[in-house]
Structure 1
Amino acid sequence: MKIAISSEGADLKARVGHRFGISPYLIIADLGAGNFEAVESPGSLGQQGTGVQTIVLAISKDVQTVLTGYCSPAARRHLEANGIEIFTGLSGTVGEVLESYKKGEIQKVEVAKIEHEPEKRIGNMGILIDAMRRSCNQFASMLPIFLGVVMLIGLLNTFVSRQFLASLFSGNPVLDTFLGAFFGSILAGNAINSYVIGGELLRYGISLFSVTALIITWVTVGLVQLPAEIAAFGRRFALLRNGICFLLSIPIAIITVVVVNLVIR
């Protein structure tokens, strides 16, 4: 039997993580083999969507039980849907919590009693420090991305001519919007990058229809993240959601640009 414990560190002496999905590590303890594995959690980066990745990680490790301080209702639903039992409201070291679980001393807490638990902990200095640490990690993780975007724009300015970009777009609002939506679907990264890239495309003379569609699909459609989404939510839901978002992005982009033009006038 495997147990996943959200942890602030990579060993049994570390404190149990305050919240599943954003703690730096998952300690995967195999009760049958009597050993454990410390896995760095995607939540340590503090980026959007890392909660889903942590759920996928727990499922991929064949975990049967999760021990943590707090688990959001959404994460709880997906974990329980995959047969994973969740115990929350825990504190202390990972080793202490693990021993308590082995002895049967840990009781499940009703969901209704824990949904507002984070709000009750606002005054906890540990939560504040944890939030500051995640913010710093997020900034540090975003810095290389911004540098990469700047370099990409530099390469774009150097090697890609306006004539080439213009040749990709016909000037037809519907067709250009479709192309923008397509490129936004296959690109990935922080949503802020789409604004920077969109601004550069506008400067190159690409229509606002295309840029708007690119930004919409960038944040709503994710072909790169599709395998993880399928693992977490199921193939039908993931494909249907991405397909609907892609199709809706085109009329939404056109309507948005038309409304903006009317307001400006």
Structure 2
Amino acid sequence: MKILISADGADLEARVANRFGTSRYLVIVDTETGDFDAVPNPGISGQRGSGMQAVVLAVSKDVKAVLTGYCAPAICNQLEANDIEVLTGLDGRVREIVERYKQGNIGKRTGTGLQTLRREPKIGSAAFIGAIRNSVNQFAGILPAFVGVVLLIGLFHTFVSKDFLASIFSGNVALDTLRSASFGSILAGNPINSYIIAGELLKYGLSLVAVTALIITWVTVGLIQLPAEIAALGTKFAILRNVVSFILSIPIAILTVAIFNLVKG
């Protein structure tokens, strides 16, 4: 039987992570053989739908139980819908939690384990060192995003010319908005990238409505992530959600710019 524990590290001595969806690692343990596999959590980025990627991983690995500190209600529902038991409110080393589970010393927890996030911090050198370590890890996690932003700006200026943009965007607000929304639906990556691209497009003269539509669809529509969303939420819902999000992105963009102009005066 396989169980999955959210963890801060890639071994059995790591501590159980507070959150399932955004923990650094997901440690999958075979309770019969003792073998384990530490998989980097695909949801660590915290982007839209990232928690569902962790659900897809758990399902694909044939996990029967998830043990963690806290699990968001939507994630819990998806796990339980796939016959995966969710045990929350846990703390300690992964090895200890595995042994407790094998011995039947972990009772069924109600709720999502929110109390785990609210426990009082321990005061002392160990807690201080842990806080420093977490800060360093968080900085290391966002550093690639900053580097990516710098590289993206450089690549945009190098490879995207005014002539190229003119061949795509005609200057017609309606058509440009539709095309921008389409690009946003296809492109993927950190939402920060959409802000950078949108800012550069504004400099090239693209309308604010079109740029807003691009940002909205980038965040709410995900054709590249669609297979993972289908696996987690079902084909009908995933397709319907993406279609509705795309259709609504254009009127929302128009309304947003209209309100902005009113406020701006």
* TM-score class, shorter: 0.7 to 0.9
Indicate conservation of the 8 Å contact 1:46/1:134, yes or no: no
Unaligned runs of 5+ in 2: none
Q: Is 1:148 aligned to residue 151 of structure 2?
A: yes
Residue in 2 that maps onto 1:132: 135
How far apart in 2 are the matches of 1:264 and 1:109? Answer: 51
Shift of 1:84: 0.4
Residue in 1 that maps onto 2:260: 260
More deviation, 91-100/254-263: 254-263
Letter in 2 for 1:16: V
Root-mean-square deviation (CA), in Å? Answer: 2.3
Residue in 2 that maps onto 1:91: 91
SS in 1 for 2:71: coil
How far apart in 2 are the matches of 1:22 and 1:150? Answer: 28
Residue in 1 that maps onto 2:168: 168
Shift of 1:48: 5.0
Which string of whole-angstrom CA distances, capped at 9 and with x for unpartnered residues, describes residues 134-173 of structure 1?
531331231332133122222235xx2x233223223332
SS in 1 for 2:6: strand
Do the aligned partners of residues 129 and 237 (structure 1) sit closer, same or farther apart at CA in structure 2, a change above 3 Å counting? farther
Residue in 2 that maps onto 1:208: 208
Mapping 1:6-25, distance limit 5 Å: 6-25=6-25
How far apart in 1 are the matches of 2:46 and 2:212? Answer: 27
Which string of whole-angstrom CA distances, capped at 9 and with x for unpartnered residues, describes residues 7-29 of structure 1?
22222222222221222222211
TM-score (norm 2): 0.88
How far apart in 2 are the matches of 1:259 and 1:96? Answer: 55
Residue in 2 that maps onto 1:242: 242
More deviation, 26-35/209-218: 26-35
Residue in 1 that maps onto 2:114: 115
TM-score (norm 1): 0.88
Q: Across the two proteins, how many residue pairs are aligned to each other?
A: 260
Indicate conservation of the 8 Å contact 2:69/2:116, yes or no: no
Indicate conservation of the 8 Å contact 1:166/1:205, yes or no: no
Shift of 1:44: 4.2
How far apart in 2 are the matches of 1:115 and 1:21? Answer: 13
Identity of aligned residues (%): 54
Residue in 2 that maps onto 1:61: 61
Shift of 1:128: 4.7
